[in-house]
Structure 1
């Protein structure tokens, strides 16, 4: 139950972070947004260090660095994807892709589910599909480029989560600190190489920083959840984060929610209830 609640919290934080990051990237080049979000995220993890502890063994540094590279790629592709829109279609597509790989890794590593879990896990994946299938009549269709970016972002997110899960369980927030330091360095290096292409538009500073803070909180909650439960279950619950993005897009941007998406949200609630019994 603790792992489930942590995963739900991670899902909510990811959903809010993605919405703010995507919205902020509409006003400036995506790298300008990530240049603010990634360091803000690192600052949060450094503040948590004295309270949650951290160790930096060779394994921790290696897996943390790998997660950082994946995180930098996920940041850039995801925010660019959501900036292109529509959020209520592209965010769920990314989530579906990001759920499949960690679930597969967890099952391959020998995780076993009870009857409720065997029903709830595929039901949760179906819920993500239903939420992603929400194009009603007159809804905006995503471009091919946006869809490709959504798939790429999903794969990068999946790798980030898998790499974090592989870090030693006694490493505290060490892998998060290493990962975010690496992702910040990669982002700043990319921005330096592409400086002339970034344009003169200023990013939404507060919005971008808040997205980074929420992403850091989401990563922490996922790490704690995966240490207290099965990766397969935690990953698929975390992958339900588009629910938050979709609802925020509906409230703030007046993006339409298709009937299928509403069914998906209800299906997600049932799936979470079943997984709580595992």
Structure 2
């Protein structure tokens, strides 16, 4: 139950962070948003160090660094994906992709799926088709580029979570600190190389920083959940995060949801639930 609650909290924090990050990336180049979000995340994790402790062993540093590199890619791809929109289609697609790889890793590590989870896997694939198949009149249709970015973002998020899970259980927040330091450095280097393409638009500072803080909270809750439960269950429960993104997108931006997409979202929720129960 503890792992379930932590995973649900992680899901909610990820959903809110994605919405703010995607919205902020509409005001300026995505790298400008990430340049604020990543250091804000690092600041939160440094503040948690005295509270939760950190052991910088070789495993914690290595897996943390790998997670940070994946996180930098995930930040850029995800925020760019959500900036293109529509959020209510692309966020669920990203989530389902991000759940698939951790499930595979969990199974390879000896975790077993029950009957419910076995039923949930094909439902998840069906949900991807329904959510991204293309809405009818009056609803936004995602472009091929946006869908490819969504799949790439999902894969990067999955790698980030898998790498975090591999870090030693007694390492505290060390993997998070190392990972965020690496992602900040990678983002800074990318921004330096692409500085002439970043434009002159100022990013939404408060929105970008809030996205970074929420992402850090989400990572912490996921790490704690994965340490107290199975990776397979925790990953798919965390993949419920589009619920927050879609709700905010509909409330704040007025994005419409077609009946096919509603069916896809319902199927996605059923799939994630079955995987968690399994």
Q: How does 1:241-256 map to 2 (within 5 A)?
A: 241-256=241-256
Question: In structure 2, what is the equivalent of residue 169 of structure 1?
Answer: 169
- 1:71 and 1:156 in contact (8 A); partners too: yes
2:139 corresponds to 1:139? yes
Contact 2:45 2:177 (C-alpha < 8 Å) held by counterparts: yes
Contact 1:131–1:243, Cα closer than 8 Å, also in 2: no
| C-alpha deviation, 1:259, in angstroms | 2.4
Aligned to 1:60: 60
Q: Is 1:221 aligned to residue 221 of structure 2? A: yes
Q: CA deviation at 1:124?
A: 6.0
Deviation at 1:143, TM superposition (A): 2.0
Residue equivalent to 1:31: 31
Please provide the CA RMSD for this pair: 2.0
1:46 aligns with 2:46: yes
Change beyond 3 A, Cα 1:234–1:133: farther
How many residue pairs align between the two structures? 278
Q: Secondary structure at the residue paired with 1:138?
A: coil
Following superposition, the deviation at residue 267 of structure 1 comes to 4.8
Structure 2 unaligned spans of 5+? none
- Scaled by the length of structure 2, the TM-score of the pair is 0.92
Please give the residue correspondences for 1:59-208 in structure 2 after superposition, counting only pairs within 5 Å. Answer: 59-119=59-119, 130-132=130-132, 135-208=135-208
Deviation at 1:137? Answer: 2.2
Pick closer, same or farther for the CA change 1:149–1:270 going to 2, 3 Å. closer
Q: Residues 128 and 239 of structure 1 are in contact (CA less than 8 Å); yes or no, is this contact kept in structure 2?
A: no
Q: TM-score, normalised by structure 1?
A: 0.92
Instruction: Label 1:275 to 1:103 Cα distance change in 2 as closer, same or farther (>3 A).
Output: closer
Question: What is the deviation of 1:247?
Answer: 1.1
SS in structure 2 opposite 1:170?
Answer: helix
Tell me by how many angstroms 1:114 deviates.
3.9
CA contact (8 A) 1:89 1:133 kept: no
Q: What is the CA distance between 1:240 and its match in structure 2?
A: 1.6
d(CA) in 1 for partners of 2:111 and 2:197? 46
Structure 1 unpaired stretches of 5+: none
Distance in 2 separating the partners of 1:4 and 1:119:
20
Runs of 4+ in 1 over 2 A off after TM superposition: 113-138, 258-278
Distance in 1, matches of 2:239 and 2:262, equals 17
Q: What's the counterpart of residue 3 of structure 2?
A: 3
Q: Contact between 1:124 and 1:236, CA under 8 Å: does it hold in 2?
A: no
- 1:169 Cα shift? 0.8
Q: Is residue 2:29 matched to residue 1:12?
A: no
Instruction: Write the distance in 1 (CA, Å) between the matches of 2:13 and 2:128.
Output: 17
Instruction: Report deviation, 1:244.
Output: 1.1
Distance 1:34 1:242 in 2: 20
